[in-house]
Every structure is written in C-alpha cells, then in structure tokens.
Structure 1
C-alpha cells in the first residue's frame, strides 16, 4: 500500500536559532550580515527576545534568547541541524567583509558533486554557517 502523494512544499519560510547573548547575536546578524529586521519583541513572561529577520529571497531567520540555554553540542557533529547555508553570488567579497570584522572563514572548498564553491564560518555562539556560491 502506498501513501497518498503529499502536498508540495514551496520553500523554507524560516529557520529559528537560540542565542546565548541576544545583543551580540543581534549585532552579528543585523549589522555584520546585513539581514533586515522585520519585527522584534520582548516576551516578558518568558524573559525572552524574538527577532524576525528577512533575507532577500523572502525567507526568514528567527533569533530567540532564553535565560541560560544549554550549549549545542557540535563537534564531533551532533544529530540534528548540521549547519545553515546562505546563498551568495560571490564568496570573496563576503569573506573579506567578515574578515574585516574579525570573523574567520575556513578555506574555500569545492562541492565534489555540484562543482560549486563554499566555505564555513561561525556565529557568536559557534553555530556553523556556510556561504554557498551560486553565480
């Protein structure tokens, strides 16, 4: 017996991240990476911030803060979300921009299956982020 065909998914609406230091992460994603603030709310009952950020393609990043969140095990790679990849037109200008602000990127690699170039860097909480070049 086969399952009925699922309705088509049309894209990713948002990815949610929990940060350890809201002000530091807000500055990183807004000032450093240039994401547009859509909405920002402090939820007093939870002592938590929620920041909705827009990417140019219409997808969103939600940034949350909670009192004393446990750290995410990342290395060796933990089960769950592996990394968040941002599409860029060219790697070098973004890598240079990040470098001028003290953010180190790994050496550029080439995807063995697509031939596209990419690199990794980390956000203030050491969450793995990727730049993936689509020319």
Structure 2
C-alpha cells in the first residue's frame, strides 16, 4: 500500500476577500468551486494547482494568528515549482509582493526563493 500523490493543502485565512484575490489574481490559481457555509460563517474556496493538486482556502471568524517566527511545529511552508524563477519573482514584485533574494539549494543546485501570502504563510518557488 502506498500514497499516490498529494490531493490538497488546506489554508485558513483571516481576510477571505484579500486572500482570494491573492491566490486567484496574483498567483493565478483557477477556481474549482466556492461555497459559503452559513452554519460555520465560513467560505471554502477550492483552487486548482496544475492538474494534480488543490488548495482549499477557508475563512472562519476569529481565527488565531499563525506562529511562524520562530518556526513552530506543523506545516512549514508551501512550495511551487516554476520554469523561470527570476521571471516569476519579478512578476510577483510588480504585484506588490515582497520576494526574498533568489538562492541556490546546496544539495540540488536548483534556485529557490520565498515570499508570503496575506497572512504571512511562507511560500517557496523552486526551479524545475
């Protein structure tokens, strides 16, 4: 028995409208479905990441802040592969997103960098 592939990653945001715009307009992820669940006062937005994975973006009232620095146990960051890391980093900067300096992974010799979503969740770009 084995796990076949990653199906989705769930993210809880503090400002649904701002996060929806970031993931759909800035990152360009396509909306699969969007539902408002009245009983939970919560949105659930399913976003396609390529043809093999999804991000589930949730909103809930009064969510606690995510501990990031110093790093806390649990999910550390999301990572996406891109064909041209410099072009994508430049694009993000034109959208007002602060991007760290591009570095070289000492093990794989591939380029990578980080930026954050509206709630400070670290997101990595990794060269294919």
Normalising by structure 2, we get a TM-score of 0.98
What is the CA-CA distance between 1:57 and the residue it aligns to? 3.4
CA RMSD of aligned residues (A): 0.7
Residue in 2 that maps onto 1:4: none
Q: Distance in 2 between matches of 1:133 and 1:44?
A: 41
Aligned pair count reads 128
Q: Distance in 1 between matches of 2:51 and 2:76?
A: 22
1:61 equivalent in alignment to 2:55: yes
After TM superposition, list the pairs within 5 Å mapping 1:28-43 onto structure 2. Answer: 28-43=22-37
Which residue, 127, 130, 135 being the options, matches 2:121? Answer: 127
Q: Secondary structure at the match of 2:34?
A: strand
Q: Distance in 2 between matches of 1:94 and 1:68?
A: 33
Residue in 2 that maps onto 1:71: 65
Which residue, 74, 78, 81 being the options, matches 1:80? Answer: 74
Q: Distance in 2 between matches of 1:59 and 1:79?
A: 24
Q: Distance in 2 between matches of 1:11 and 1:59?
A: 8
Q: Distance in 2 between matches of 1:65 and 1:94?
A: 27
CA displacement 1:77-102 (0-9 Å, x = unmatched):
11100000011111011111110011
Q: Distance in 2 between matches of 1:84 and 1:94?
A: 16
Task: List gaps (5 residues or longer) in structure 1.
Answer: 1-6
Q: Distance in 2 between matches of 1:20 and 1:76?
A: 20
Q: Distance in 2 between matches of 1:88 and 1:11?
A: 19
Poorly superposed stretches of 4+, deviation over 2 Å: none
Max Rg structure:
1
Normalising by structure 1, we get a TM-score of 0.93
CA displacement 1:16-52 (0-9 Å, x = unmatched):
0000000000000000000000000000000000000
Q: Secondary structure at the match of 2:35?
A: strand
Q: Distance in 2 between matches of 1:124 and 1:79?
A: 21
Q: Distance in 2 between matches of 1:109 and 1:86?
A: 15
